């Protein structure tokens, strides 16, 4: 008899799939310490204390968790970059800036289960010998800030933060820092400048944050969802975690869906679940014909609406093979009768507004030229050759900017031209689009 | 009048979150700006000066940092500062029409305050709540979600009549007892409570 390894879990409909990140959402007072503890909260960090810092990092590595902030860097590996006993203060930062259009998963982790995040940061701090943590939350998340602040106070009063956490000998304290409306603050080095009270321009890398981050000291920064995965990995084990997902994309993830669907929202699925699953089984299907899918937040290239794409597993590799990216898992559906040039212009405008102005390719390329030419197109003043000009500009900007913001803008630009060149041409030839550029607004 | 003179506990609380170093003091800039703006609706020149002294820099520096962020205002705002999300998911849900209706109803444009001092308006970028589009943010209080024409007008009337703004707190997550609900509200997958935690080591 041959031993067969169990089939990996790649669907949230699979009876073996049990959501964890959002499992407590919807419970009364889910955000209180009492409620969190009643569900076994803060047991994982005790397990971490019993294991010791290095085995915790090993467990994180073994789990296969990759950063959920968009770039997908292996979390355990990142944690292992922090210098060992170098005698300096180590910092931990939670990136709760969540500003990539289409992304709204961290928001409910913050408001509904703040202790899950605090426990995740405690585990990370212990593993990386960091005794101070900051949660950088975008300024607009008012309820999130209130809930996090209250949870920090509760945790401090219960001896879960402060000196000698739970008698372990480990000191850890945590503070909240509120942002003020700038997308670039989500970029990790810009975030550090912002936290230091400076203009949030990105910093040159290297040095990487693990060598020199906030206040020039060793720092590790992770996304909210990455930290929130840690207590579950410690509690149920790396093998449980990696039983979900595909070969190189392990675990569960929060996927968001917005645009014209019956039930927009956030769904917890194993990596490798298909677009069809989230769109139809969970979001109830589109409300009108769709032409494009933005798979993982506004910076990820658009994909066409067809069966092959709908059946593509949502994991880093499979979406990559289709020419796009998993990103933050923020799916946006663009309806058939919404002008694609207008939709793209909306995003170009966003990135132009958010360009920090530090480097020329982004400030001039995106902030000025790209914006002007798109504005001209949607106003009906496009000329033959404009599309070639956009592509040429894109070529000149790609990979040449200081941080990834300019490239993020090119995602929708280049992909929309590739997929919907006919719409650009029609708009240029006729001075107006064959589709509307405004959506109907619900009366009631 | 200096704003922080009689607010020593506020100052202590803010500075206690950062290291007792030059760099650490500077970190207090954003929370100090927010403190002033929430009280006054904007940050006047005198307070930029005051904050610069508190954190050991110049007023020009403070102004330069402020101008980087879209949240800080250097001119007065209305009692209710209404911010409309203009980014894609909200645009797909009709935010252009919402914006037109809002500005026409209030007869105002960005940068102005209505004569009754009640309202000012601003277009903002993705509020991180695309699942409940179209979205509004009211001052530094919270969100109005899934804003229909009727809802907008009810809200404006309510605020005009002296009402308070009560933020929406819809959570578009479909979970019941640790189990997820599909589009037909059927429980799918397993229940989280059935997962067995590993035994404690040692
Ligand atoms: C322009 C830009 C914006 C970003 N915005 C965010 C964000 O809002 N939240 C986030 O977690 N990561 C964001 N990132 C990624 C961060 O730089 C960083 O990779 C991430 O916080 C690391 O955490 P992770 O490894 O857990 O994903 C952004 C990156 C860029 C270039
Ligand atoms: S696009 Fe409006 S909240 Fe995201």
Residues B18 and B28: beta-carbon distance below 8 Å: yes
In a domain, A289, yes or no: yes
Phi and psi, residue B159, nearest 5° = -70, -35
In a domain, A312, yes or no: yes
| A181 Cβ neighbours under 8 A, 6+ residues apart | A138, A139, A140, B69, B70, B71, B124, B125
In a domain, A39, yes or no: yes
- Which DSSP category does A281 fall into? I
Q: Are residues B163 and B122 in the same domain?
A: yes
Indicate the length of chain A as a whole number.
444
Nearest partner of A421 among A391, A380, A379, judged by Cα: A391
End of a domain among B23, B45, B68? Answer: B68
Provide the mean pLDDT of chain A: 96
Query: Which residues are bridge partners to A91 per DSSP?
Result: A132, A219
Say what the pLDDT of residue A438 is: 80
> Is B198 an 8 Å CB contact of chain A?
yes
Q: Looking at CA atoms only, how far is residue B8 from chain A in angstroms?
A: 19
> Is A22 an 8 Å CB contact of chain B?
yes
End of a domain among B47, B68, B89? Answer: B68
In a domain, B3, yes or no: no
In a domain, A8, yes or no: no
End of a domain among A283, A317, A335? Answer: A335
We report the CATH number of the domain holding residue A281 as 3.10.20.600
* Torsion on CA atoms A54, A56, A59, A64, rounded to nearest 10: -100
Q: Are residues A360 and A314 in the same domain?
A: no
Q: Are residues A45 and A142 in the same domain?
A: yes
- Number of domains forming the structure of chain A: 3
C-alpha distances out from residue A94 to A64, A133, A195, B78, B198, Å:
20, 8, 12, 33, 27
Is the Cα torsion angle A406, A411, A412, A416 positive or negative in sign? positive
| A283 Cβ neighbours under 8 A, 6+ residues apart | A257, A261, A262, A263, A264, A265, A267, B183
In a domain, B184, yes or no: no
We report the CATH number of the domain holding residue B14 as 1.10.10.1590
Tell me the best of A192, A223, A328, A367 to mutate to test the pocket of ligand 1, counting ligand atoms within 8 Å of each CB and taking the most.
Answer: A223
- The token pair at A226 is 């990455």
Q: Are residues B26 and B99 in the same domain?
A: no
In a domain, B194, yes or no: no
Angle between helices A340-354 and A405-430 (to 10 degrees): 140
Say what the pLDDT of residue A3 is: 62
Percent above pLDDT 70 for chain A: 99
In a domain, B136, yes or no: yes
Q: What is the pLDDT of residues A106-122, one digit of tens each?
A: 999 999 999 999 999 99
Q: Are residues B145 and B108 in the same domain?
A: yes
End of a domain among A242, A265, A281? Answer: A242
Q: Are residues A437 and A375 in the same domain?
A: yes
For residue A177, which residues of chain B lie inside 8 Å, CB to CB? 17, 27, 30-31
Other beta carbons less than 10 A from residue A8's beta carbon = 17
ipTM over 0.90: yes
In a domain, B114, yes or no: yes
Q: Are residues B86 and B163 in the same domain?
A: yes
C-alpha distances out from residue A62 to A16, A75, A223, A248, A252, Å:
20, 10, 19, 12, 15
Q: What is the pLDDT of residues B152-197, one digit of tens each?
A: 999 999 999 999 999 999 999 999 999 999 999 999 999 999 999 9
In chain B, DSSP assigns E strands to: 80-85, 119-124, 136-138, 142-144, 175-176, 179-181, 187-188
In a domain, A16, yes or no: no
End of a domain among A335, A366, A386? Answer: A335
In a domain, A4, yes or no: no
- Number of domains forming the structure of chain B: 2
Q: Which of residues 41-100 of A touch B (CB under 8 A)?
A: 43, 46-47, 50-51, 98-100
Supply the range of the domain harboring residue A377: 340-443
Q: Are residues A110 and A146 in the same domain?
A: yes
In a domain, B126, yes or no: yes
Q: Are residues A57 and A169 in the same domain?
A: yes
Query: Which residues are bridge partners to A176 per DSSP?
Result: A135
| A49 Cβ neighbours under 8 A, 6+ residues apart | A126, A166, A168, A170
In a domain, A366, yes or no: yes
Q: Are residues B54 and B101 in the same domain?
A: no
In a domain, B115, yes or no: yes
Q: What is the pLDDT of residues B90-113, one digit of tens each?
A: 999 999 999 999 999 999 999 999
We report the CATH number of the domain holding residue A374 as 1.20.1440.230
pTM here?
A: 0.97
Other beta carbons less than 10 A from residue A204's beta carbon = 8
Nearest partner of B131 among B144, B150, B145, judged by Cα: B145
Three-class SS state of A422:
helix
Say what the pLDDT of residue B110 is: 97
Q: Are residues B98 and B127 in the same domain?
A: yes
- Ligand found nearest the CA of A221: 1
Supply the range of the domain harboring residue B115: 80-170
Q: Are residues A177 and A256 in the same domain?
A: no
- Nearest chain A residue to B202 by CA distance is A50
Contact B129 A104 (CB under 8 A): yes
Say what the pLDDT of residue A85 is: 80
Residues B103 and B114: beta-carbon distance below 8 Å: no
Q: Are residues A203 and A97 in the same domain?
A: yes
In a domain, B187, yes or no: no
């Amino acid at each position: 008899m041959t031993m067969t390894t169990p089939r990996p879990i790649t669907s949230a409909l699979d009876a073996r799939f049990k959501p964890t990140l959002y499992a407590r959402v919807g419970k009364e007072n889910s955000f209180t310490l009492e409620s969190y503890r009643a569900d076994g909260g803060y047991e994982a960090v005790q397990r971490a204390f019993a294991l010791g810092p290095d085995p915790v990092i090993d467990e994180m590595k073994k789990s296969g968790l990759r950063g959920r902030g968009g770039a997908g860097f292996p979390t355990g590996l990142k944690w292992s970059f922090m210098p060992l006993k170098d005698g300096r203060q180590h910092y931990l930062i939670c990136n709760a800036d969540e500003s990539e259009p289409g992304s709204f998963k961290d928001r409910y982790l913050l408001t509904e289960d703040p202790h899950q995040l605090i426990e995740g940061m405690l585990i990370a701090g212990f593993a990386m010998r960091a005794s101070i943590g900051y949660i950088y939350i975008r300024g607009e998340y008012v309820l999130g800030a209130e809930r996090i602040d209250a949870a920090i106070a509760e945790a401090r009063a219960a001896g879960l933060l402060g000196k000698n956490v739970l008698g372990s000998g480990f000191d850890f304290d945590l503070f909240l820092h509120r942002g003020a409306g700038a997308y670039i603050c989500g970029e990790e080095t810009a975030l550090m400048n912002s936290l230091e009270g400076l203009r949030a321009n990105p910093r040159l890398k290297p040095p990487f944050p693990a060598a020199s981050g906030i206040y020039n000291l060793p720092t590790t920064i992770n996304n909210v969802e990455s930290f929130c995965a840690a207590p579950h990995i410690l509690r149920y084990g790396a093998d449980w975690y990696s039983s979900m997902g595909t070969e190189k994309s392990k675990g569960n993830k929060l996927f968001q869906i917005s645009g014209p669907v019956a039930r927009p929202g956030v769904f917890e699925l194993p990596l490798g679940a298909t677009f069809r699953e989230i769109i139809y089984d969970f979001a109830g299907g589109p409300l009108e014909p769709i032409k494009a899918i933005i798979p993982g937040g506004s910076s990820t290239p658009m994909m066409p609406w067809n069966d092959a794409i709908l059946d593509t597993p949502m994991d880093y590799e499979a979406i990559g093979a289709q020419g796009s990216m998993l990103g933050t898992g923020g799916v946006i559906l663009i309806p058939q009768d919404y002008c694609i040039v207008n939709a793209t212009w909306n995003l170009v405008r966003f990135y132009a507004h958010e360009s920090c102005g530090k480097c020329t390719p982004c400030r001039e390329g995106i902030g000025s030229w790209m914006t002007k030419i798109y504005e001209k197109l949607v106003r009906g003043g496009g000329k033959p050759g404009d599309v070639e000009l956009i592509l040429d500009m894109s070529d000149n900007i790609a990979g040449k900017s200081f941080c990834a913001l300019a490239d993020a803008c090119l995602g929708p630009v280049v992909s929309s031209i590739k997929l919907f060149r006919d719409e650009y041409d029609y708009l240029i030839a006729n001075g107006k689009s064959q589709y509307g550029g405004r959506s109907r607004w619900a009366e009631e | 009048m200096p704003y922080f003179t009689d607010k020593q506990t506020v100052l202590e609380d803010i500075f206690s979150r950062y290291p007792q170093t030059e760099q650490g003091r500077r970190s207090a800039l954003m929370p100090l700006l927010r403190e002033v703006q929430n009280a006054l609706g904007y940050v006047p020149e005198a307070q930029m000066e005051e904050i610069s002294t508190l954190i050991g820099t110049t007023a020009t520096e403070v102004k330069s940092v402020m101008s980087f962020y879209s949240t800080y205002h250097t001119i007065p705002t209305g009692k209710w500062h209404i911010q409309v999300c203009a980014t894609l998911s909200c645009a797909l849900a009709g935010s252009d029409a919402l914006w037109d209706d809002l500005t026409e109803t209030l007869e105002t444009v960005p940068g102005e305050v209505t004569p009754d001092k009640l309202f000012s308006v601003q277009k903002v970028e993705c509020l991180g709540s695309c699942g409940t589009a179209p979205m509004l943010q009211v001052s530094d209080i919270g969100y109005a979600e899934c804003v229909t024409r009727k809802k907008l007008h009810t809200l404006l009337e309510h605020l005009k009549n002296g009402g308070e703004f009560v933020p929406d707190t819809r959570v578009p997550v479909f979970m019941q007892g640790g189990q997820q609900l599909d589009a037909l509200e059927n429980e799918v997958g397993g229940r989280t409570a059935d997962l067995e935690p590993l035994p404690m080591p040692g």
